[in-house]
A = this chain, B = another copy of it.
Amino acid sequence: MPRPITIAFDVMGSDHGPSEVVKGAARLTLESPGIHALLVGDGDEIRKALEEIRHSGERVSVHHAPRFITMEEKPSAALQEKPDASVAVAARLVREGEADAVVSAGNTGAGVLACARHFQLIPGVRRAALAAVYPTQQEHGEKHDPFSLILDVGATVDATPDDLVAFAVMGAQYSKVISKNPDPKVALLSNGVEPQKGPPRVVEAHQKLAALKGIRFSGNVEGVDIPKGRADVIVTDGFVGNVCLKMLEGVAETVVDIARYAYKSKLRWRAGLAMLSSGIKRLKSITDWEQYGGAPVLGFDQLFIKAHGRSKSKAIANAGKVAAKAVSANLAAAIREGLPR
Q: Identify the A interface with B (CB < 8 A).
A: 137, 154, 157-158, 189-191, 197-200, 202, 222-228, 236-240, 242-251, 253-255, 257-258, 262, 266, 268-269, 271-276, 278-279, 283
B247 touches A226 (CB 8 A): yes
Q: Which residues of B contact A225 (CB under 8 A)?
A: 250
Can you give 16 contacting A-B residue pairs, CB < 8 Å? A137-B258, A157-B191, A189-B243, A198-B239, A223-B247, A223-B248, A223-B249, A224-B247, A239-B240, A244-B244, A266-B278, A266-B279, A269-B275, A269-B278, A272-B275, A272-B276
Q: Which residues of B contact A198 (CB under 8 A)?
A: 157, 239
Closest CB pairs A-B (n = 8): A272-B275, A223-B246, A223-B247, A272-B276, A224-B250, A191-B242, A223-B243, A224-B246
Give A224's nearest chain B residue, CB to CB.
Answer: B250
A228 touches B250 (CB 8 A): yes
Q: Which residues of B contact A249 (CB under 8 A)?
A: 223-224
A283 touches B258 (CB 8 A): yes
A239 to B279, CA, bound (A): 36
Give A159's nearest chain B residue, CB to CB.
Answer: B199
B271 touches A275 (CB 8 A): yes
B245 touches A223 (CB 8 A): yes
B268 touches A253 (CB 8 A): no
Q: Which residues of B contact A239 (CB under 8 A)?
A: 190-191, 198-199, 202, 240
- Partner of A276 from B222, B244, B276 at Cβ < 8 Å: B276
Q: Which residues of B contact A189 (CB under 8 A)?
A: 243
B222 touches A243 (CB 8 A): yes
B279 touches A276 (CB 8 A): no
A36 shortest CB reach to chain B, Å? 36
Q: Which residues of B contact A243 (CB under 8 A)?
A: 189-191, 222-223, 236, 240, 243-244
Give A259's nearest chain B residue, CB to CB.
Answer: B279
- Partner of A255 from B240, B244, B248, B255 at Cβ < 8 Å: B255
A226 touches B250 (CB 8 A): yes
Q: Which residues of B contact A154 (CB under 8 A)?
A: 191
A191 touches B158 (CB 8 A): no
With A202-B239, A244-B243 already in contact, the answer to whether A250 and B276 are too (CB < 8 A) is no
Q: Which residues of B contact A276 (CB under 8 A)?
A: 262, 269, 272-273, 276
Q: Which residues of B contact A240 (CB under 8 A)?
A: 239-240, 243
B199 touches A158 (CB 8 A): yes
Q: Which residues of B contact A257 (CB under 8 A)?
A: 137
A231 shortest CB reach to chain B, Å? 13
A245 to B275, CA, bound (A): 33
Give A276's nearest chain B residue, CB to CB.
Answer: B272
Q: Which residues of B contact A237 (CB under 8 A)?
A: 199
